């Protein structure tokens, strides 16, 4: 759209060797939508059951090579549950040889010590295990699996024993955030290197379940205080463990600079081969390119989908004249689409958005809603068919 010398472009054309956007440093390979868990905050699309085809081993390896040539350096194996793919070791090995830093993002279900050692041999750099809560019953309730928690604990210990850097990811929400001290204690016990205490991002399944997930402001402030107290204790003890606390943008007055800008750093490939500028973007009414029809270079540099929200020509008021537009890029396009009904609108998280009252209403509801785990819409094929077109 803003390619060299376009007669429609309002800007001076750029010399051909200078690209008007960044490199896809982060390549996220969603290998499959299959998953043994049913987390009610899964970021996969609601209608995932519509997309059952998967790229082949050779197609993935070819994409990794193309990504590397575009400057990609971090490669995430994700899903669904990536361990479901029988060729995972081969994919890790190929990516490692190309020079990627390889990250396996897993629930830990389906992992064992032998597989972990195999992946290590193949060149896997890092395993991130996600937890649902520190307490066994809450964790299992949220994951929809009885054995999941014990398995995760065992796998986290094994990750460390095999010398991998350990990043633990705890998804926090109103059911578990008051236990954040126990979550952190567990991480200290497991000798984690990094801990992400990340509140749900309300897309996909999490958006369906926002009432049962969004903590109250008071819960959030309490959790942040506890986290800060532990940070201080860790520093005093000379413990290098890093606590990363991610707040839900629903309690902000300015939107996040989503994905560091559309098509600037991040490239996701879905199990069935669609290329996206972020893992939620599939919900938008944009025709995104398919890796089976175009090279990654054409996708990144030229495809209408990846150029759609680059720059700021697409912006409406209040973004267009806002002096913070270069910082937050108008916020998240998916959130604008979901909440304002227009993907070109300001992210309703922003206090300047005419739809900001919708965010305030959700916050307000969080003060009165009662925790009820039976109200969750779990992420499974049966529920997905309700949202699917097929």
> Which residues are at the interface with another protein (CB under 8 A)?
23, 25-26, 70-71, 73-74, 76, 99, 101, 103, 125-126, 128, 163, 165, 167, 193-194, 238, 240
Report how far apart, in Å, the C-alpha atoms of 348 and of each of 24, 123, 252, 254, 355 are: 27, 43, 10, 9, 5
Contact in structure between 346 and 330 (CB atoms under 8 Å) = yes
Nearer to another protein, 210 or 241 (CB): 241
Q: State whether residue 362 is helix, strand or coil.
A: helix
273/30 Cα distance (integer angstroms) = 9
Write down the least CB distance from residue 105 to another protein, Å. Answer: 9
Nearer to another protein, 25 or 84 (CB): 25
Nearer to another protein, 40 or 93 (CB): 93
Write down the least CB distance from residue 211 to another protein, Å. Answer: 30
Beta bridge partners of 128: 105, 167
40/118 Cα distance (integer angstroms) = 31
156/116 Cα distance (integer angstroms) = 11
Nearer to another protein, 163 or 341 (CB): 163
Write down the least CB distance from residue 223 to another protein, Å. Answer: 22
Nearer to another protein, 120 or 363 (CB): 120
Write down the least CB distance from residue 65 to another protein, Å. Answer: 13
Angle among Cα 138, 142, 148 to the nearest 5 degrees reads 80
206/386 Cα distance (integer angstroms) = 16
Nearer to another protein, 195 or 346 (CB): 195
Write down the least CB distance from residue 202 to another protein, Å. Answer: 22
- Among 248, 280, 254, which residue's Cα sits nearest to residue 173? 248
Write down the least CB distance from residue 201 to another protein, Å. Answer: 16
């Amino acid at each position: 759209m803003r390619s060299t010398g376009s007669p429609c472009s309002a800007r001076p054309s750029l010399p051909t060797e200078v690209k008007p956007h960044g490199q896809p440093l982060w390549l996220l390979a969603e290998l499959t939508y299959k998953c043994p868990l049913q987390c009610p905050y899964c970021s996969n699309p609601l209608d995932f059951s519509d997309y059952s085809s998967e790229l082949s081993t050779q197609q993935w390896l070819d994409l990794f090579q193309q990504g590397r040539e575009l400057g990609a350096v971090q490669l995430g194996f994700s899903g669904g549950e990536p361990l479901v793919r029988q060729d995972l070791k081969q994919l890790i090995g190929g990516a490692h040889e190309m020079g990627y830093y390889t990250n396996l993002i897993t629930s830990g279900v389906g992992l064992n010590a032998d597989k972990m050692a195999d992946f290590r041999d193949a060149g896997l750099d890092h395993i991130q295990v996600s937890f649902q809560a520190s307490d066994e019953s809450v964790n299992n309730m949220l994951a929809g699996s009885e054995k999941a928690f014990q398995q995760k604990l065992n796998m986290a210990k094994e990750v460390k024993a095999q010398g991998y850097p350990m990043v633990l990811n705890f998804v926090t929400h109103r059911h578990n955030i008051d236990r954040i001290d126990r979550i952190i204690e567990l991480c200290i016990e497991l000798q984690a290197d990094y801990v992400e205490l990340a509140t749900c991002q309300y897309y996909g399944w999490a958006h369906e379940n926002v009432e049962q997930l969004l903590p109250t402001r008071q819960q959030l402030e309490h959790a942040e205080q506890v986290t800060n107290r532990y940070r201080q204790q860790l520093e005093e003890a000379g413990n290098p463990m890093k606590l990363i606390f991610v707040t839900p943008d629903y309690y902000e007055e300015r939107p996040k600079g989503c994905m560091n800008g559309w098509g600037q750093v991040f490239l996701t490939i879905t199990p069935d081969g669609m290329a996206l500028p972020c893992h939620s973007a599939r919900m938008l009414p944009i025709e995104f390119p398919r890796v089976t029809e175009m090279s990654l270079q054409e996708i990144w540099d030229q495809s209408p989908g990846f150029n759609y929200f680059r720059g700021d020509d697409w912006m409406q008021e209040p973004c267009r004249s806002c002096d913070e537009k270069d910082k937050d890029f108008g916020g998240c396009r998916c959130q604008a689409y979901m909440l304002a009904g227009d993907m070109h609108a300001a992210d309703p998280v922003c206090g300047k958005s005419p739809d900001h009252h919708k965010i305030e209403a959700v916050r307000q509801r969080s003060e009165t809603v009662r925790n009820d785990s039976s109200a969750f819409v779990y992420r499974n094929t049966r529920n997905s068919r309700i949202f699917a077109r097929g």
